[in-house]
Structure formats: structure tokens, C-alpha cells
Amino acid sequence: MARLLVVVPHHTDPPARLGQWLREAGLELDERHLSAGDPLPADLTGHDGLLVLGGPQSSLDPAEVSPELVGVRALLATAVAEDLPTLAVCLGAQLLAQVGGGSTRVGVEGPEVGATLVAKRDAAYADPLFGPLPLSPDVLQFHHDEIDRLPAGATLLASGVMYPNQGYRVGEHVYGIQFHIETDDAIIRQWAESDTVGVAASGLDIETICARAAAVHPDVAEVWAPFAGRFAALVQEHARRRPAPVGN
């Protein structure tokens, strides 16, 4: 079975529905919960893909503020160098941009919070993961930083009204998405209740944010569960190409 390393930088953003979709697609998930003290592997040996989720940490945090992100950046850099099938979500996508040679900053338009749409770019139609998506799929947003510059040579696949760099690919198999597809109603409520700055910037109250998220979560599942399946197929293809271990 193809093995996916799942890095959970903070307990408030577990793999949730995305993890379920990936398991249903046939992947074995090796979850590392950094808030719980799980160690990260030194490299990606023995894994056929990488998933990095989000968290309340800032992509701009120095090592002394968020030491747990040092190892996450190292694994993402390895994934880029090896072109290992990778999906980096929100904070993960920002860290991926940084290690790939791009940059992040505090979002110039302020926090982006709640249910919204992103729009496919022209390059998305030829992409194996983004190609089958509808023109403007539903997503969930909860971020304060933005990716202001993609890595050189990266392919922009999806944009939004507030922030243009919403979905992108580095190389052939490494993907970053600024938005969330893994959430459920309980996760969104937890985020809304804890992120007073983000909620205030949205111009909405907590109940409205939660109600709108609940309304789109079925549509998110309809569109993004197949996307997860297509990502799982990339991971499984890598597993098939991996050389068999040499016996003694």
C-alpha cells in the first residue's frame, strides 16, 4: 500500500475529511501530530507522498517562535527536490512557497475568512489534479498571511478575489493550496471562536461564518473528494515506481 506522510503542525487543523478521502482512495496515512510531540522523520524515505496541513502559526515565525516548523520546511524542501507527490494546505502552502524560492507576507488585504470561491486559471485545464474541477469551486478560507510571490517556474492553477496565489504546482507533482478543503463544521466553529481578529475583518459574526461554511461543506466534498482521489493516484504511481528493497 502506498504510504503518505501527513504532517499536522497544530491540533486545530487535523486531516479530518481529507484524511478520510485519502484512506478511501487506498492510501496508508502516517500521521505526525506536532502539537502532541510526534517526531518528524529526517527525510522522506519509505513514504510515497507528503501532506502538510495548516495551523495558527505564521509562515513568518522565526525558529525560536515556531521551532516545529523548521522540520516541516526541511521535508517540503526535500519533496521539491525529489518532486515527490505533495499537497500543502494553507500554512503548508505558504511554507512550500518559501522553501521553493517564493515568499509570504502579512496579507495586504487583511485576513481572508469563511466560505468563498476560487477560480481556475488557464493552466489548470491541463493539470491532472485541477483539470476536472469546476470553473469556480467552493473552498474555505482562514488565513492572515498571503503568498505574495510564487517560486520561480511554479504554475499558478487557481486564484481568488482577495489573493491571487490560491493554488499552484512546483515541478510536476508538488502542489500548494492556500485554501482549506479538509474542514468540517466543528473545525470551522473552533477556528471562528478562536480567531477574533479574522472574524472581525470578515465583517460577519461567528454564527454567519459557521452557517455559510455548513452550507457549502457538501459541495466541497462533492468536488474535492475526487481531487483527493486524483492526488492519491499520484502517490500510488510513485509507490509502483519505487524500487523494491534489496534482500540480504
Annotate 142-188 with DSSP letters as a single string: EESEEEEEPPTT-EEEEE-SS-S-SEEEETTTEEEESSBSS--HHHH
- Residues of the chain whose pLDDT is less than 70? 244-248
pTM: 0.96
CB proximity list for 218: less than 8 A, separation 6 or greater: none
Beta-bridge partners for 246: none
User: What CA–CA distance (Å, rounded) separates 54 from 104?
Assistant: 15
Closest-CA residue to 181 (of 233, 240, 118): 118
The CA angle 184-94-99, to the nearest 5 degrees, is 140
pLDDT of the residue at 245: 63
The CA angle 232-228-137, to the nearest 5 degrees, is 155
